[in-house]
Amino acid sequence: MFGFGKKKSTVNQKFLSIGAGKVVSLEQVPDQVFSQKMMGDGFAVELSENNIYAPVDGEVTLVFPTGHAYGLTTADGKEILIHLGIDTVELNGDGFSPKVKQGDKVKQGDILTVMDIEFIKEKGKPTISPVIFTSGEKIELLKEGETVTAQTEDIFKFVD
């Protein structure tokens, strides 16, 4: 009745895709850390365009030095890890042009980075990119297998 012990969302913002591509379940990601949900629940996008966008308003809490991973925290405390490609850390930053830094405030739709999809593929790295809720939220994927744009809403819903 009073909501004790439950996470209360103070912000009811829709999440958008991080970019254009095909929505994939985490179980399909070719990396056990993600596919076995060791870092949290989420989904992935097999990216088809270079621009990577903030899926929601928040603060940039992590920019990996190689530009391949970003952490965002929303006003209501959701922590989101965006990991671009698989094994892309091995590229030492090549193929990524970060547009934000740790501590920046971003609005939904702001460009986080530009990822050179063709370069990543040429280097033999998958462009499938997990979006993980590291703060513990569980989701139900609603658009698995569908092609989305950066403006696509309702890719998933939160579940208790």
Q: Is the dihedral of CA 19, 14, 133, 108 positive or negative?
A: positive
We report the CATH number of the domain holding residue 111 as: 2.70.70.10
Question: Which structural domain, as residue segments, surrounds residue 142?
Answer: 21-149
The domain tally of the chain equals 1
Q: What is the pLDDT of residues 60-109, one digit of tens each?
A: 999 999 999 999 999 999 999 999 999 999 999 999 999 999 999 999 99
Question: DSSP state, 138?
Answer: E
**83 catalytic per annotation:** yes
Could you identify the residue written with the tokens 């208790």?
Answer: 160
Q: What is the pLDDT of residues 7-16, one digit of tens each?
A: 444 446 799 9
The structure's pTM equals: 0.92
- Phi then psi for residue 113, to 5 deg, are -160, 165
Classify burial at 123, counting beta carbons within 10 Å of its beta carbon; exposed 0-12, middle 13-18, buried 19 or more.
middle
**DSSP assignment of 99-120, as one string?**
---TT-EE-TT-EEEEE-HHHH
> Which one from 83, 120, 148, 152 is the annotated catalytic residue?
83
> Cα 70 to chain center, whole Å?
8
Could you identify the residue written with the tokens 């929505």?
Answer: 23
In a domain, 80, yes or no: yes
